[in-house]
Amino acid sequence: MKRLVIAGGGYGGLKIIMNLLEDGIPKDVHITVIDRNPYHSLKTEFYTIAAGTEADKNVRIEFPQHEQIEYKFAEINKIDIEQEQVLIKDFKESIPFDYLVIGLGCEDNYHGIDGAREFTESVQSFSKARSAGFSVGNLQAYGKVTVVGAGLSGIEVASEIRESRPDLNIRLLDRGETVLRAFDKKIQNYVEDWFASNDVEVLHNANVGYVERDGVCNNGVCYLNDVTIWTAGVRPNYLVRELPFEKDEQDKVILNDYYQVPSKQNVYVLGDCASSAYSPSAQLAGEQGEQIAKILSDLLKNKEPSKPKEIKLKGTLGSLGKSDGFGNMMQQPMTGRLPRLAKSGVLWLSKRH
């Protein structure tokens, strides 16, 4: 039997599973999928869990079932490249592989700031988003919430909490001179105006010195705070950072044109763990998953795989609560209800497929 192990059932991992099923899995192939959760998590919607506006069941999807696919729902202890096996917690035996796909996603990057890891909430995993939602939901009236980071995640978290809890005092700490530095100026201005009109305080040129249980120190000024949510950067999963592969300046694995590790070509990497010209996103991971699935399908059928085409992303969408949003659509910056509806449509398609 040819043994394919997929470490991580995120957007890229799920796309590989679905495409291999669609192409037909050869009878001599056994697939093992390892994920910490017994379902696929819609990570792009974790901000709704943190804000308490959606139930858990609305942001997860069941994995497809097939007689040649086995699921192990557990945390990975180690990826042993030399012995070609994956060691997981609570399982005595290791899981050997002939082909390995690594799609373990990312974790928060605290940039060495004291107290950030210990005293902040997060939206980087389902369990952490639940914890954030519990903390926010239990706040008394007029409680204080600080969101650190004004990228896409920070914007969606802050705006969703505002819509969910109009009584709270919300502060957004932005390291730059404007929110959403990667977006068009039209979008930046629109989002800034939305926060101003919805009574969310935005502090630009932020420089967090340290975080305490009940406060955040920014540029020498310490603000009393009830809940701090960290969205100020990510880095690849620590298991990937430990692997003996060549990496870029962001600790992402450098790959060849077939998503293979050059020194270990039966190992594939995608998503937040893979070096790429694009910023990490669910869309990018899904596109990479489709291409890796085609490569693997050819290899498993003893065919020579063709070189993947250059990926062309369709744009980025973000929400400002349930009825407002922003995004790049058809290569044009758009704001208001249309991009929010488009984001809801993408979510619906994700669940349907």
Measured over the CA atoms of residue 113, residue 118, residue 119 and residue 123, the dihedral's sign is: positive
Q: What burial class does residue 60 get, using C-beta atoms within 10 Å of its C-beta: 0-12 exposed, 13-18 middle, 19+ buried?
A: middle
Residue 93, pLDDT score: 82
Strands 234-236 and 106-108: antiparallel
Residue, of 329 and 17, whose pLDDT is higher = 17
Has residue 38 got a pLDDT over 70? yes
Contact assessment for residue 54 and residue 48, using Cβ atoms and an 8 Å cutoff = yes
Has residue 89 got a pLDDT over 90? no
Has residue 21 got a pLDDT over 80? yes
Q: Which of 61-70, 90-99, 174-183, 298-307 has the lowest mean pLDDT?
A: 90-99
Average pLDDT over residues 102-119: 97
Average pLDDT over residues 25-48: 97
- Model confidence at 149, pLDDT cuts 50, 70, 90, reads very high
Percent of residues, the chain, with pLDDT higher than 90: 93
Average pLDDT over residues 5-25: 97
- Model confidence at 133, pLDDT cuts 50, 70, 90, reads very high
Contact assessment for residue 317 and residue 346, using Cβ atoms and an 8 Å cutoff = yes
Residue 353, pLDDT score: 67
Average pLDDT over residues 95-103: 98
Contact assessment for residue 95 and residue 84, using Cβ atoms and an 8 Å cutoff = no
List, in sequence order, the alpha helices (H) in 230-281: 238-241
Q: Flag whether the pTM goes above 0.75.
A: yes
Average pLDDT over residues 167-174: 98
pLDDT tens for residues 175-222?
999 999 989 999 999 999 999 999 999 999 999 999 999 999 999 999
Residue 143, pLDDT score: 98
Residue 90, pLDDT score: 79
